Amino acid sequence: MKKHRKLIVIVSILVLLVALFLPLPFFIESPGSAQPTADSITVNQHHDQRAGKFLFTTVELSSATPLSLIWAACTPFHDIEPRQEVMAGDNTKEYLQMQNYFMENASNSAIEAAFKKAHRSYTKEYLGIYVMSFLKNSHFKGHLQVGDTVSEIDGHRFSSSQAFIKYVKAQKVNQLVTVKYQRHGKTHQTKQKLMAMTHPRRPGLGISLVDHVRIRTTPKVAINAGDIGGPSAGLMFSLQIYSQLTKQNLTRGRKIAGTGTINSQGKVGPIGGIDKKVYAANREHAQIFFAPNDRVTKKILKVDPHYENNYTIAKKAAARLNTKMKIVPVKSLDDAYNYLKTHQ
């Protein structure tokens, strides 16, 4: 009898351990945080100390276990997503590198948009080519990594990715080229063959790339979001920078949350998980939430007849929460600014 009880205890412990720790090929998306942008941004080496806050919102992404999967399936504002769909074929390290790049790019665009709106000058320093991904047959795969910055090829430096591509196109397939690149602040180089690209057929490194730039401003703007990645804080960062740059008190003591990508022209773009971001903002007692209001075209509806834009989803989330927080649709930095100036 004692042996039987002991066996039951052992089996129960094993089942519990499996339920708690067995990794499954899924991620759970849940409400993250609503953090003050002033904690992450300095203008002229100063954090904004004024009353009121701009809040940038996040989605938490966690690996699923059997127990957490059951919990997520039964909990509002929690979604279960296949790991492969979220990672898009990248490994964890590459995925995190990509998210870091998106945050860096969002920060640059936020600075540009704010300075343009304030009619203040800035300069862009071209650092090189940022490696985003590799084609399967690229000879540079295994030598370069996602997140590396390519600064030279065959001793030539370029001022844009277009100039870089133009040089490579003028070479020959299987030609050896020497690439100099930066990784974690250190300079390396590798010599590999160019591959035959298709559509159109031409020589290439077999990598997808974007310009890697640094924005230089006076006064100096610094953004440090810690471990948070992705592009969706752009709008809220830009509002914070503009508010400090022009010394305008846009918050008026309020908690103003929101989300949305931003480009250098101040255009706001859609993001993922906005319902969870509304939840996070409401939890922090925000009074206003800016939601991207991207246009729903016939072309989009043809691909996805059930498509809803960020603003629509955010409104529904607010209704589910029965919150008094105002959901405000925006398509640009100007939209957000004008709302704050006319609703004080």
Which residues are the active-site residues? 232, 277
Find the angle CA(271)-CA(277)-CA(280) to the nearest 5 degrees.
165
Query: Tokens 């390290």 sit at which residue?
Result: 93
What is 216-229 written as a DSSP string? Answer: EESS-EEE--TT--
As a whole number of angstroms, the distance between CA 315 and CA 149 comes to 41
Sign of CA dihedral 82, 87, 91, 93: negative
Query: Tokens 């100390």 sit at which residue?
Result: 49
As a whole number of angstroms, the distance between CA 71 and CA 233 comes to 28
Instruction: Outline where DSSP puts E strands in the chain.
Output: 26-36, 41-43, 53-63, 79-82, 122-134, 149-153, 176-183, 186-193, 195-197, 202-204, 207-217, 221-223, 255-258, 261-262, 268-269, 288-292, 326-330
Measured in whole angstroms, the distance separating CA 136 from the mean position of its chain's CA atoms is 25
Sign of CA dihedral 155, 159, 165, 167: negative
How far is the CA of 75 from the CAs of 33, 61, 65, in angstroms? 17, 15, 15
Query: Tokens 């004692």 sit at which residue?
Result: 2
- Which among 63, 55, 58, 56 is positioned nearest to 23, based on CA atoms? 63
Q: How far apart are the first and last CA of the chain?
A: 74
